A and B are shown apart, each in its own frame.
Chain A
Amino acid sequence: MPRFMEGYYAREVISPIEGTSMELMTNWRRRHSRRDILKSSALAIFPLAVRSGNSSLLDQQPMTANGGTDPYPIPWLDKNGSHNQPAGANLEPSHIYHFKGRVARCSTFTGLGTDNQGNRIAFGSPTTDYGIMQGEFWGARAAQQGVFTHI
C-alpha cells in the first residue's frame, strides 16, 4: 500500500458505517413505537398546514417575479449611511447603478430668493447638488429606459 494511503484505510476500518451504525439502519422498525410514528406523521403534515395560510397567494394568477422596474441605487454609502455620492471631480456622477446614458451634475450653488414674508433668504451650499440621468438602466432583470433627476 502506498504510504500516503495508509491513513485513509486506517480511518475506513473504524468507520461507524460498519457494526452498530448499520444495525441501527436495518433494524429501525423494532426500535420505534407506534406512538413515535404518529408523532412523525403529525410533524410531516405541518408544512401543509402552514401553506394553507398563504392560500391567497396560491389563488392568484401565475405572474412573473422579477422585482420592480425601479433603478438600482449606487451600491456604496456616503458618510451619512445613504446610497449617495456627492458631486465632484473624479466622483461617480450618477445616482443610478447599472446605467448607461447621458448625465449632468452640479453642486455648490449660490443664490438668493425671497420668502412670503419678504425676507431675503440665501440658498445653496457645497452640498447643494443636482443631477440628471437619461438613458438605459437595469431593472426587473431587463433593460429599461428612463429619465431621472437627483434633486
Chain B
Amino acid sequence: MFRGPAVPANQIHDFHPPIAPSGLYWVVPVPDRGLTISPDGNTFTLEMQNVPVVDQPRWPALDSIATPAQMTFKMVWKSTGEPVRYEDPSKHFRFIGTRASCQLEAQVEVPSVGFSWKSDPLNTSKSDFAILGDEVNGRYYDN
C-alpha cells in the first residue's frame, strides 16, 4: 500500500505470509473450497478468509519489522484465450496456458496498531500481467 505514487519511499504497508523455514516464499496452503475452477478451466476464483500474514512496510530491508496481521481476499483470473508457452530447459520448467485478466478485492487488519483497510469492489482493480494454465517443473520436467 502506498500513500501517493507507488514508489518504495511511499510504501506504508506490505502484507504477505512469512517465509517458511524451508525457504518457501510467501506460500500458504489453500483450504478446501478455497479455489474454484470453472468446468471449462477458463476461470479460477480464489477466496480465503483471515489468512495469517505479516505487515512489513520496509520490505525487503533485512531489518524490516514484521507485525502480525490477517488478510481476507477474493481474486479472479479469466482466460483471454490467447495461447502462451514459457519453457526454460536450464531451469527445468514448462508452462502451457493462456493470457488472462485478474482482479482482486481484499481487506487487511493489523490489530496491534489498530489499522484496517478494505479495497474497493473487485471490478475496480486490474493487473497488467496474468496467465493461467498447466505447468511441470523440477523432477516432473523430463517425465
State the A residues within 8 Å of B (CB).
68, 70-74, 76, 80, 82-84, 87-116, 119, 121-126, 130, 132-134, 136, 138, 146-151
In the complex, the answer to whether B30 meets A148 with C-beta atoms within 8 Å is yes
Residues of chain A lying within 8 A (CB to CB) of residue B130: 104-107
Known: A109-B125, A126-B6; 6 extra A-B contacts, CB below 8 A, are A92-B91, A95-B27, A102-B133, A104-B46, A114-B120, A116-B117
How many whole Å from B12's CB to the nearest CB in chain A? 7
**A100 contacts which chain B residues (CB < 8 A)?**
134-137, 140
> Bound state CA distance, A101 and B140, in angstroms?
10
Q: Min CB distance, A98 to chain B, in Å? A: 3
CA distance A28 to B124 in the complex (A): 88
- Chain A CB within 8 A of B34 CB: yes
Contacts of A109 in B (CB 8 A): 102, 104, 125-127
Q: How far is the CB of A147 from chain B (nearest CB, A)?
A: 4
Q: Mark B37-52, 1 if CB is under 8 A from A, else 0.
A: 1000100101010010
Q: Which of A72, A89, A116, A132 has the most CB of B within 10 A?
A: A132
CA distance A144 to B23 in the complex (A): 19
Interface size of B in residues (CB-CB distance below 8 Å): 69
Q: Which of A73, A113, A150 contacts B23 (CB 8 A)?
A: A73
Contacts of A106 in B (CB 8 A): 75, 77, 100, 102, 127, 129-131
- B75-90 vs A: 1/0 string, CB under 8 Å? 1010000001010100
Residue numbers in A under 8 Å from B30 (CB-CB): 132, 134, 147-149
**Chain A CB within 8 A of B20 CB:** yes
Shortest Cβ distance from A29 into chain B, in angstroms? 55
Partner of B27, one of A91, A115, A149: A149
Instruction: Report whether B19 and A82 are in contact in the complex, using a CB–CB cutoff of 8 Å.
Output: yes
CA of A60 to CA of B31, assembled, Å = 33
> How distant is the Cα of A115 from the Cα of B131 in the complex, in angstroms?
30
Q: Are B88 and A90 within 8 A (Cβ)?
A: yes
Of A103, A116, A121, the contact of B132 (CB 8 Å cutoff): A103
Contact A107 B28 (CB under 8 A): no
Q: Are B91 and A123 in contact (CB under 8 A)?
A: no
| Inter-chain contact A99/B140, CB cutoff 8 Å | yes
- A148 vs B48: C-alpha distance when bound (angstroms): 11
Q: Point out the residue from B2, B3, B16 that lies within 8 Å of A125, measured CB to CB.
A: B2
Q: Which of B20, B86, B126 contacts A70 (CB 8 A)?
A: B20
Q: Which single residue of chain B is at the shortest CB-CB distance from A116? A: B116
In the assembled complex, the Cα of A92 lies from the Cα of B124 at a distance in Å of 28
Could you tell me if A151 and B17 are in contact, using CB atoms closer than 8 angstroms?
yes
Partner of A150, one of B12, B26, B107, B117: B26
Given known A88-B129, A122-B6, A125-B2, contact A151–B24 (CB-CB < 8 A): no
